A and B are shown apart, each in its own frame.
Chain A
Amino acid sequence: MTPCKILRHRGVEGVTIAELLVYSVLYLLLLATVTSYLIFGVKVSRRNEGAQKTQQSAMVVINQLDSELANSRRGSVVVGAAPTHIIFPSFEDASDDWAVDKFGKPFWQKWVAIVFHSPEKRLVRKVEYLSTPTTALGAAPPLASFTGVEKTIAQNVEVFEVQLLEGGWVVEVALRTIEKRGSGGSEDSEFPLTSRTRVRNGW
């Protein structure tokens, strides 16, 4: 290359202005490419993060509800409105343990209420323990009678709908989670998920 020859003639170590300019231009071009790709990467990453959050929170809630409703009792699941809620019995005690009588009937321990606070986009869980665990379950208590501390099980819930199907044997839960970012909804992520669960226990 010519610059190198010039240097060799002079016998001086270093680079010429021409070489320096070429390297600088190349460096700037590379820097611009890297920056644009990084910005693109960050955008994609943020998009994925928002979408993943909505997806995960919907799945966690639906899976938890599926599991609890499946172990609940047919005929004792109650769905209500204003606020949207579902009440069902559970045979798990405070330490998630359970017991059955000699016929295999579970001792029902508590009533569980899942309530949707629409303005706060929050799903909460309330628990009301029975004074005595029983195999002969009475009617579900009204939501207002739940005195236990409520625990938030999901946030950023846009839609929560519950309905009983097949004569109360199947519970359908429809959920839509949302992750708000940016202004005007231009960067929001939403994930709808609907699941049906068969209530196994008839006792």
Chain B
Amino acid sequence: MSVSGRVTERGMSLLLEVITGLGIFVCSLLFVVGYFPVAQKSLAWSRHYIHANHLAHSRMETELARPFEAVASTPIEAVSYEDKAHGNKGRADFEVGTVVADIAGSRLKRVTVTVAWHFAETERQIRLTTVKSDSL
């Protein structure tokens, strides 16, 4: 746009164009910057998930190592971890439970380990299931 313009020239003023341009730029900038907290939240989520996954795996390994007769359901147990990210202390609380059910007509037990936790106002859960044999 020419700012000198002739009287017959049509279009927005330079000021209005600049303001519009800056507005679009700021909006796109805010959109990009908005991803920083998303990345942070995603990292926090992955930390929780790693803990939950290892808890479930560890509990399952422990159950499978026990003698067949000793493998039984356990009440829900609370487990907590404290970590630190760039100076900010964080805490993750989990509930771990094991449900063992006999499989009718066999010397087998179905073992289900559940780890539940709360993240971003939502209940999350990991569940591992396997079969324990009398001979293993």
Contact of B40 among A13, A48, A54 (CB under 8 A): A48
**Shortest CB distance B27–A (Å):** 12
A68-86 near B? 1/0 per residue, CB < 8 Å: 0000000000000000000
Which A residues from 186 to 200 make CB contacts under 8 A with B? 186-198
**A-B CB pair tally, cutoff 8 Å:** 129
CB neighbours of B135 from chain A (8 A) = none
B53-65 near A? 1/0 per residue, CB < 8 Å: 0100111011011
The closest CB in chain B to the CB of A179 belongs to: B86
Docked-complex contact B81 and A192, CB < 8 angstroms? yes
CB neighbours of A169 from chain B (8 A) = 65
Contact of A185 among B15, B33, B36, B87 (CB under 8 A): B87
In the bound complex, how far is the Cα of B18 from the Cα of A15, in angstroms? 13
CB neighbours of B13 from chain A (8 A) = 1, 3-4
**Shortest CB distance B52–A (Å):** 12
A50 within 8 A of B: yes
**Shortest CB distance A23–B (Å):** 6
**SS of B interface (majority):** helix
Contact of A12 among B4, B25, B65 (CB under 8 A): B4
In the bound complex, how far is the Cα of B35 from the Cα of A45, in angstroms? 11
A14 within 8 A of B: yes
Number of interface residues of A (CB under 8 A): 53
Q: If A30-B22, A40-B36, A195-B58 touch, does A47 touch B65 (CB 8 Å cutoff)?
A: no
With contacts A51-B85, A188-B86 known, what are 20 further pairs, Cβ within 8 A? A4-B3, A8-B7, A13-B4, A26-B22, A33-B29, A47-B40, A50-B85, A52-B43, A55-B50, A59-B50, A62-B54, A170-B61, A170-B62, A189-B87, A193-B51, A193-B54, A195-B57, A196-B58, A196-B59, A197-B61
Chain B residues in the interface with A (C-beta under 8 A): 2-7, 13-16, 18-19, 22, 25-26, 29-30, 33, 36-37, 39-40, 43, 46-47, 50-51, 54, 57-59, 61-62, 64-66, 81-88
